[in-house]
C-alpha cells in the first residue's frame, strides 16, 4: 500500500514518539524516526512508522472532537489481539499506548502487511479483465464468510459485543448519531427512520462482524492480486448480526446500472465487467454460509442509512471547523444521494 507525506495538521510529535518507542520496544534498532501516512480512509488516521529496519503501522483517532465511544484505540487493539490468532488476515497488534501526552491521543502499533489496494482503479500494473473481477468478487465473499465463521467465544471475544437486541440498538444508535450530526433538514430521512424502526427483523446467530468490510479495506498479494494478505480497519468490529455486516459491505459495492450519483459516493471498480452484482454477492454468501437471506431488504436499507450517517458525521466535523481535510467538503451531497437512495428502497419495499 502506497504512503504519502503526512498531511498538514496531522503530524505526529516525533520528539516525544521516538523516545517512547525506544522505551516500550527494547529491540528497536538505531536510527531516526521516519513517518509517512496512508492516504485512504476518512476516520482513524493511519501512519507508517519506520526506524532503521523496523516498520509498524500506527493508528490514532482523528484530530478534533470525536463522537462518544468512537475511535476507541484500546478496544480496537484488544479486539485484534484476540482475533489475529484465529483469523490471520487480521494484523497482529504490537503495543497500545493510553497516554495522550505522547502524540496527543491514545494510539496503537500493529504489524505492517505489504500488498496492493484495489479501490477506484486497479493500479498501473494490472489489466482489468472479467476473470479478475469475478475472482476478486469470489474472494471477497469467502473472506466475509470466514470472518463470520470465527468461533468468537473460544477466541475470547465475548466481551466485545451484546448480541441480544443488537439490531434494535443499532437502529436507535445510528438515528441518534444522525440527529447529532445533522446540519440541514433532509425530509426523506424521517421516512427511512420510521420504516427501519418498524421493520427490525429477528437476527440469526451472532458472529464476529467487521462492520466496514469493503474492497479497499482488503490488501491483496503483490504477486497474485486475487489472494488476500490482510483485512484492515477493524475499529467498528463487534459481535452481532452477520447479515448487517453483509448489508453494510454492499453499500460500497456499486454496479454498472447504478445511477451516476450513487457510483460517485465512494467510487470503486466493482461496476466493471466480471464483478458480481449485489444480488449475486448475496446469493453466493448464502450458498457458502448456509444463512437465510430472504429478509435481506432491511439490511440493505439500513446499510445505506448507516453509510449516510457515517459521511454526515465526517461532513459535520469539516463544517464545524474540526478538520481541514478538503476531501470532506462535498460529503453533504454524498449524504443526500445515499439517503434518497435509501428512501427509494423503502418506497419500493412498501410497494409504492
pLDDT at 40: 72
Domain limit, last residue, from 81, 110, 139:
110
pLDDT at 19: 96
Q: In this structure, are residues 228 and 218 in contact, taking their beta carbons and an 8 Å threshold? A: yes
Give the global pTM: 0.92
Q: In this structure, are residues 77 and 94 in contact, taking their beta carbons and an 8 Å threshold? A: no
User: Is 169 in the same domain as 60?
Assistant: no
Host domain of residue 27: 14-110
| Residue 124 covered by a domain | no
pLDDT at 12: 94
User: Is 292 in the same domain as 344?
Assistant: yes
User: Is 147 in the same domain as 67?
Assistant: no
User: Is 241 in the same domain as 102?
Assistant: no
Rg from Cα positions in the chain: 20
| Residue 120 covered by a domain | no
In this structure, how many other beta carbons lie within 10 angstroms of the beta carbon of residue 202? 7
| Residue 280 covered by a domain | yes
CA atoms of 219 and 86, how far apart (whole Å): 18
CA atoms of 318 and 118, how far apart (whole Å): 27
Residue where the block lists cell 444463512? 291
User: Is 175 in the same domain as 94?
Assistant: no
| Residue 194 covered by a domain | yes
CA atoms of 204 and 244, how far apart (whole Å): 10
Domain count, the chain: 2
| Residue 2 covered by a domain | no
Which three cell numbers, joined as nine digits, stand for 339? 439517503
| Residue 216 covered by a domain | yes
CATH of the domain at 229: 3.90.1200.10
User: Is 96 in the same domain as 184?
Assistant: no
| Residue 118 covered by a domain | no
CA atoms of 325 and 316, how far apart (whole Å): 12
Residue where the block lists cell 489472494? 227
For residue 156, give Cα distances in angstroms to 78, 80, 277.
10, 11, 35
User: Is 83 in the same domain as 139?
Assistant: no
User: Is 106 in the same domain as 134?
Assistant: no
Average pLDDT per 10 consecutive residues for the chain, totaling 352 residues: 87 95 94 92 85 96 68 92 98 96 95 94 91 98 98 96 95 96 92 97 97 96 96 95 98 96 94 97 98 97 96 91 85 95 96 70
Q: List, as one string, the DSSP characters of 60-103.
A: EPPSS---TT-S-HHHHHHHHHHHTTT-TTSPPEEEEE--TTTT
pLDDT at 62: 85
User: Is 64 in the same domain as 183?
Assistant: no
CATH of the domain at 81: 3.30.200.20
Q: Residue count of the chain, please give it.
A: 352
Q: In this structure, are residues 33 and 51 in contact, taking their beta carbons and an 8 Å threshold? A: yes
User: Is 181 in the same domain as 231?
Assistant: yes
CA atoms of 150 and 281, how far apart (whole Å): 20
Amino acid at each position: 500500500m502506497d504512503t504519502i507525506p503526512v498531511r498538514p495538521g496531522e503530524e505526529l510529535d516525533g520528539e516525544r514518539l521516538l523516545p517512547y518507542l525506544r522505551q516500550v520496544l527494547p529491540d528497536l534498532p538505531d536510527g531516526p524516526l521516519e513517518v509517512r501516512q496512508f492516504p485512504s480512509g476518512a476516520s482513524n488516521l493511519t501512519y507508517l512508522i519506520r526506524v532503521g529496519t523496523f516498520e509498524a503501522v500506527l493508528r490514532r483517532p482523528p484530530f478534533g472532537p470525536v463522537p462518544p465511544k468512537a475511535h476507541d484505540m484500546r478496544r480496537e487493539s484488544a479486539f485484534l489481539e484476540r482475533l489475529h490468532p484465529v483469523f490471520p488476515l487480521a494484523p497482529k497488534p504490537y503495543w497500545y499506548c493510553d497516554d495522550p501526552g505522547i502524540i496527543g491521543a491514545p494510539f496503537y502499533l500493529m504489524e505492517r502487511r505489504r500488498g496492493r489496494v484495489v479501490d477506484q482503479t486497479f493500479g498501473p500494473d494490472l489489466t482489468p479483465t472479467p476473470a479478475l473481477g469475478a475472482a476478486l468478487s469470489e474472494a471477497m465473499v469467502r473472506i466475509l464468510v470466514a470472518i463470520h465463521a470465527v468461533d468468537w467465544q473460544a477466541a475470547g471475544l465475548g466481551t466485545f459485543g451484546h448480541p441480544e437486541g443488537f439490531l434494535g440498538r443499532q437502529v436507535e444508535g445510528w438515528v441518534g448519531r444522525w440527529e447529532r450530526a445533522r446540519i440541514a433538514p433532509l425530509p426523506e430521512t424521517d421516512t427511512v427512520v420510521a420504516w427501519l424502526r418498524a421493520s427490525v427483523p429477528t437476527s440469526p446467530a451472532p458472529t464476529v462482524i467487521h462492520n466496514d468490510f469493503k474492497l479497499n479495506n482488503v490488501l491483496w498479494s503483490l504477486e497474485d492480486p486475487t489472494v488476500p494478505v490482510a483485512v484492515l480497519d477493524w475499529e467498528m468490529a463487534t459481535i452481532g448480526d452477520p447479515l448487517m455486516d453483509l448489508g453494510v459491505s454492499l453499500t460500497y459495492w456499486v454496479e454498472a446500472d447504478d445511477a451516476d450519483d450513487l457510483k460517485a459516493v465512494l467510487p470503486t471498480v466493482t461496476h466493471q465487467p466480471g464483478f458480481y452484482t449485489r444480488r449475486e454477492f448475496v446469493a453466493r454468501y448464502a450458498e457458502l454460509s448456509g444463512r437465510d437471506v430472504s429478509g435481506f431488504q432491511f439490511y440493505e436499507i439500513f446499510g445505506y442509512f448507516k453509510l449516510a450517517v457515517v459521511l454526515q458525521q465526517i461532513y459535520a466535523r469539516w463544517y464545524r471547523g474540526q478538520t481541514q481535510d478538503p476531501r470532506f467538503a462535498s460529503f453533504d451531497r454524498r449524504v443526500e444521494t445515499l439517503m434518497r437512495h435509501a428512501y427509494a428502497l423503502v418506497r419500493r419495499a412498501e410497494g409504492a
